[in-house]
Amino acid sequence: MEHLTLETLPKAFSQLSNEVSEIKKLLLEKSKEQQAEIEQWFDLNEFCHYHPDKPTKATVYSWVSGGLIPVHKGGKKLRFLKSEIDIWLKQGKKLSNQDTVLAAHEYLTNKKG
């Protein structure tokens, strides 16, 4: 940065203000992207389209009935949380027994309400 004088101070302040505004804008955009990604839900069709192998609905139903995939049920509807699916895809394995127990507990807790 150049040497500040009374004459250059307004220009330096303006430049600094613009840079702070740009940083704020970038941080807000990043925050919105992260929040949207964290909260993204898929229905069955969206999940089939998102999954790299593009499975059929019947295949997904068999995964769900076998406890092979993280899923949330609302009545008869299946819902998939993107963040959980991403982790599941990266792990390349089925839910652990502990995850299954936690999911069952969560389901029963939500069923009571």
Q: CB under 8 Å to 70, separation ≥6 — which residues?
A: 80, 81, 84, 85, 87, 88, 95, 99, 103
- HSE at residue 24, side-chain half, CA atoms within 13 A, is 6
User: 42 or 105: which carries more pLDDT confidence?
Assistant: 42
- Pick 104 or 73 by higher pLDDT: 73
**Within a domain: residue 1?**
no
Per-residue confidence band for 92, with pLDDT thresholds at 50, 70 and 90: low
| 82 and 30 both lie in a single domain | no
47 with 94, same domain: the answer is: yes
2 in any annotated domain: no
Characterize the bridge pairing of strands 72-74 and 41-42.
unpaired
Q: What is this structure's pTM?
A: 0.50
Write the pLDDT tens digit of every residue in 8-57.
888 888 999 999 999 999 998 888 777 766 679 999 999 999 999 999 99
Please check whether residues 46 and 81 belong to one and the same domain. Answer: yes
Co-location of 51 and 100 in the same domain: yes
Residues 89 and 55 in one domain: yes
Tell me how many domains the chain contains: 2
Whether 53 and 104 share a structural domain: yes
Is 3 a member of any domain? no
Name the residue range of residue 96's domain: 41-112
